Each structure stands twice: as C-alpha cells, then as structure tokens.
Amino acid sequence: MTLGNRYKSGITNEKWDAIIIGSGIGGLTSARLLADAGKKVLVLEKHFKFGGYTHTFKRNNYEWDVGIHYIGGNLHNPNSFLRRLFDYLSNNNLHWSRMDDIYDQIVFPDKTYDFITGKQSFIEQMISYFPEEEKAIRDYIKLVDQVFKSSLSYYSNKALPGIIGSITYPFMSKSFLHYAKRSTKEVLLEIGCSPDLIGVLTGQWGDYGLPPGQSSFAIQAMIARHYFEGGNYPIGGSRMIAETIIPGIQSKGGKVILSCGVQEIIVKNGSAIGVLLDNGDEIMSKMVVSSAGVKNTFEVLVKNEKRKSDKSILLNEVEASSGYYCLHIGLNKSAQDIDLQNANLWVYPGYDHDENLENYLSDNRQPYPVVFISFPSAKDPSWDKNHPNSATIEVITVAEFSKHKKWADKQWKKRGNEYESHKENISQSLLESLYKHSPNTKGHVDYYELSTPLTSRDLANYKEGELYGINHTPRRFQQKWLKPQTHIKNLYLTGQDIVTAGVSAAMMSGVITSSAILKKNLMKQFLH
C-alpha cells in the first residue's frame, strides 16, 4: 500500500464526513478513530512529508528526527494505556526500544545527576543526592502521582458536550486545577525543596519549554510522571509512527494528502462546512477538525473577523511557546565505535533555571539556559543495519523568533549570507557544548545542519516557530475553551494545545476529540 495520496481535483467532488487539517499525531489519531467509526475522513498536510513533528529528514547517509527524542509512558509494558493505544493505531506494527536505565542526565557545572528508570529507584537516587531532603522528595513524588490521577478527570471533561462540560468543569477539574493554577517553583518551595533540588527535579523543563517560575506545576507533574518508567524510542525512527498509522486510515477509505495547504476554514451560518485550499479549490465536509494549533486556527484559518474576535475564544489569555535551534549532526563512525550512550544530556549553566533563561534573553552572549543533547542512532537498534558506519546527534537550545524577523520574508534556503553566518555561529557554539560533554565525538563530525525558528515556521507551519504550541503557564490550564468543541458548529480542535506538550499527549488529544465527536468514551477500550 502506498502511504498517502497525491492531490487530485476529483477529491473536491467526493463526500467527506470529516476533514482533518494537519497530519501530526493528534490529527492522525483522530482520523484513524473516526475512520474506524465509519466516517470517511480526509487528512490534509501542508508539508511534503506527513507526521508533523514525528517526521524525519535525510541528508547523505544520515537521517534525523524533527521532534521526537524519547517517549515515556511505560511503553515496554504491552498492557499499559499508551502501549495499547499505539498498538491499536499501528495494527501492532510499531515497535519500541527501551533506553538504558539511566535515560536522562542533568548536567550542572559542579555535578551530574542521573534520572533512573523506576519510580522507587528514582526516589532512592534523588535521596542519595539530597539526603537531608528526603521528606521533600517523597512529598514531591506523592504530588506528582496525585496531579496525574486527577488529570484524568480534567481531560475527560474536555470530551463532554458544551453545556454539560461547563456544568461539570468545576467538579471534575477541582483537584487538578488546585495545582495547575500554581507555578512549579511555588509548589516545590512550599513542600520544602531547596533551590538546588528544584533545579534537579525540573531538569527536564526543556520538554515543555518553561522554567519552574513560569510553568504550571501540572505540566511538570505530567512530564515527571510520564518518565517514571524510563524512556523509549521507536525502532526505525520517529517516522515509523505516522507510517504505521496511515495504512489503517487508508484501509477504511480515508485519504492522507501531502503538499496540500489549507488557506481557510469555510464557515457559513455559524457552522464549518469545508476548507479552501492554497490552490483555490474548495472541499466540503460535514465537519472540520483542526490540529494546526489554536492560534493558527482562529487567527489564520478562520477569516471572518466576527469569528476571530468572539469572546468565547480568549486568545489573549494564551501565548505562543518559545522557538528553538536544533543542530542536526552526522558522524562518520557508529555509535558503538565511539561509545555513545543513549541517555539524553540536559546541560545547564546553573541550578536556577529562571535566572539562566532571563540572563540569556537579556543578553544572548550569556550561556545557553539549556542545551539538550540526544543520540538517536544509539537509541535505535535498527540504525546500524540501515545506516552502517555512521551515527547522528541532535543538539537543541532556546531561540527567540524576534531575533530572526529580519529574515522572515525571505525564502527558505535563500535568506542570504548574514543569515547563514548567524547559523554558523550558533552551530559552532552548540558543537563546542557537544565536544565538552561528549568528547568522543570530536574529530568524527562529518555533517551538520542547523534549524531555526524560521525553519520550524516554514516546515511545521507554526507562526513563530514555536515547538510546544501555547505556553504551559498556570493561566493556560484555566482556559475552559481549550477543548475539542469550539463555538463554531462542526469545527473541532485536536493536538497538543487542548492537552499538553509531547507526542503521547497529542495522541491522547486525538482520543479526546474523537470521543467528543462520536459522543462515546473511546478511552475505555485502551484502559486495562
């Protein structure tokens, strides 16, 4: 079976039950579940590759992930919720490799802290680092579990119809919102964590894009809980996620179309009735599901000013997350030959993440507030067979879109010498960080290529190249309108903006959105 379909004008004459904008994991999950329910679905992807942040790209003999670097969620357990969902969506064709017991290393100038697989092992490891703070550590773990448990009600509420959801929101969400509306730093200080312990426990803040003083404790808890059982990596790379889901959509009569951008969601008499494509064609449908992000959906795709300014859509209450630089590196030796481990490195200039970020944003000559180093070829047991005598690395840090605005109107790969010089300077500084923390790589770098917020904007279609959609602030979690159903009839949302950051969360959004559309709790079939 060929993955995806070429666009043909005849598609405009077909009758569609649902058009899904975007082929990220949220959109594909929605499409698959709706198709299984007998709906004829059409997925439209602007990029020339499907998968959103789960796609890969190649240069020479190298292949890199665009967005996925590891996934938690107890995927090695075939009875876990996420594993059952992935198995269902992929028809058991998606396979996982478990990372080493030490899956993350939090690196500070004076010490490196290991994040170890298994909740009890993690607790014991943290206590060995901070023996005088045992109570705070145990209280933290209890809170993480509590917030995770209460999140199930919060997210279930999102699938309920408008009036019912509004009535039940205070009751179903009360426990979760108690902590969600507070900052991570505030909660951790309250339970007695020292500044150094806070710095270590929030060492994965790059996974959601905000330091502890700005982030909601809800997202910190969700991410921490997600990795209690370690990290996993899709065998064959992240592209395998989309490649194993799409056949199930197509087998039910659905279509996934590449290089097919949506210019507008057509709204008539308060109801979404189809889409206008970039090429001028119109495709009609009984409903439209947007996984393009809430800001893109209501600021770009919904053209009618009255719709955009509707008071039920409080876009001014949420803000876009940060952009990022990612240096994609190819090495002329295998991961085994140069002894690359598969644990991710989180490198920080100091324990106060908020101060690190503030210093960098005020003066980009200051050290990067975070440098994330991932070794995908060391995580993938199939790499050496498919790409012999080579390895790949990704080095990621924060980047401001505002610093790139002067090149924003120029075409991809045609932004001029100044832009290329800027990229080279960033590349060299990230290579320096790599060599410092993984010295075995020096002398083996064969190729490197830097993506910037402009790259993300052009290829992922986020307005400011943001990685995590809207920021995970306490305010974000109090927005009742961030749910599948919108104030426009037959227009639904899916993707990370209605849940939280990450592939697993975005996939969960597909379940929630499909549940809302079908008026059926689809989660039950994946809960053991």
Q: How far apart are CA 478 and CA 497, in angstroms?
A: 13
Q: Using the structure block, give the residue that is written with the tokens 């150094």.
A: 196
What is the SS3 assignment for 420?
helix
Provide the pairing of β-strand 102-107 with 344-347: parallel
Q: Report yes or no on 371 lying in a domain.
A: yes
Q: Using the structure block, give the residue that is written with the tokens 């889901």.
A: 245
Q: How far apart are CA 92 and CA 356, in angstroms?
A: 43
Residue 421: is it exposed, middle or buried by C-beta count within 10 angstroms (0-12/13-18/19+)? exposed
CATH number at 348 reads: 3.90.660
The predicted pLDDT at position 309 comes to 59
Q: Report yes or no on 68 lying in a domain.
A: yes
Pair (126, 211) in one structural domain: yes
Q: Report yes or no on 34 lying in a domain.
A: yes
CB-based contact 255:248 (threshold 8 Å): no
Phi, psi dihedrals of residue 509, rounded to the nearest 5°: -60, -35
Q: How far apart are CA 231 and CA 72, in angstroms?
A: 5
Pair (502, 353) in one structural domain: no
Closest of 11, 494, 48 to residue 258, by C-alpha: 48
What is the SS3 assignment for 159?
coil
The predicted pLDDT at position 464 comes to 85
Q: Report yes or no on 111 lying in a domain.
A: no
| Beta partners for residue 63, in sequence order | 58
Pair (434, 326) in one structural domain: yes
Pair (352, 432) in one structural domain: yes
149: Cβ contacts below 8 Å, ≥ 6 apart? none
Pair (251, 291) in one structural domain: yes
Pair (454, 475) in one structural domain: no
Pair (125, 189) in one structural domain: yes
Closest of 106, 207, 202 to residue 467, by C-alpha: 207
Pair (196, 268) in one structural domain: no
Supply angle C-alpha 332, 458, 214, rounded to 5. 90
Phi, psi dihedrals of residue 268, rounded to the nearest 5°: -135, 125
Pair (126, 192) in one structural domain: yes
Q: Report yes or no on 106 lying in a domain.
A: no
CATH number at 34 reads: 3.50.50.60
Pair (449, 506) in one structural domain: no
Question: What total of structural domains would you count in the chain?
Answer: 3
Length of the chain: 528
Phi, psi dihedrals of residue 330, rounded to the nearest 5°: -115, 135
Total Cβ atoms within 10 A of residue 447: 15
The predicted pLDDT at position 458 comes to 84
- 164-173: string of b/e by CB count within 10 Å (b at 16+)? ebeeebeebb
CB-based contact 346:104 (threshold 8 Å): yes
Domain boundary among 189, 204, 226: 226
Closest of 372, 401, 371 to residue 465, by C-alpha: 401
Provide the pairing of β-strand 262-268 with 371-374: unpaired
Q: How far apart are CA 302 and CA 266, in angstroms?
A: 7
The predicted pLDDT at position 523 comes to 83
The predicted pLDDT at position 15 comes to 95
Q: Report yes or no on 104 lying in a domain.
A: no
CB-based contact 207:502 (threshold 8 Å): yes
Q: Where are the alpha helices (DSSP H) in 159-226?
A: 162-180, 184-190, 195-201, 217-226
The predicted pLDDT at position 457 comes to 87
Q: For residue 176, what are the domain limits? A: 118-226
Pair (122, 77) in one structural domain: no
Q: How far apart are CA 327 and CA 363, in angstroms?
A: 21
Q: How far apart are CA 149 and CA 155, in angstroms?
A: 11
Domain boundary among 460, 493, 516: 460
Half-sphere exposure of 15 (CA within 13 A, CB side): 1
Q: Using the structure block, give the residue that is written with the tokens 């806070």.
A: 198
- Written as tens digits, the pLDDT of the chain (528 aa) is 688 888 998 899 999 999 999 999 999 999 999 999 999 999 999 998 899 888 889 998 899 998 889 999 889 899 999 999 999 999 999 999 999 999 999 999 999 999 999 999 999 999 999 999 999 999 999 999 999 999 888 888 888 766 555 555 565 677 889 999 999 999 999 999 999 999 999 999 999 999 999 999 999 999 999 999 999 999 999 999 999 999 999 999 999 999 999 999 999 999 999 999 999 999 999 999 999 999 999 999 998 755 555 656 788 899 989 999 999 999 999 999 999 999 999 999 999 999 999 999 999 999 999 999 999 999 999 999 999 999 999 999 999 999 999 999 988 778 999 999 999 999 999 999 999 999 999 999 999 999 999 998 887 778 888 889 999 999 999 998 999 999 999 999 999 999 998 889 999 999 999 999 999 988 888 775
The predicted pLDDT at position 528 comes to 59
Task: Rounding to the nearest 10 degrees, give the CA dihedral for residues 509, 513, 518, 524.
Answer: 20
Element holding 512 (H helix, E strand):
helix 503-518
pTM of this prediction exceeds 0.75: yes
Domain boundary among 226, 261, 289: 226
Provide the pairing of β-strand 371-374 with 391-399: antiparallel
Pair (14, 63) in one structural domain: yes
Sign of the CA dihedral 479, 485, 491, 493?
Answer: positive
Q: Which two tokens stand for residue 518?
A: 């079908």
Q: Report yes or no on 3 lying in a domain.
A: no
What are the angstrom distances between the C-alpha of 56 and each of 63, 268, 329? 7, 38, 14
Q: Report yes or no on 27 lying in a domain.
A: yes
Q: What amino acid occupies position 374? A: S
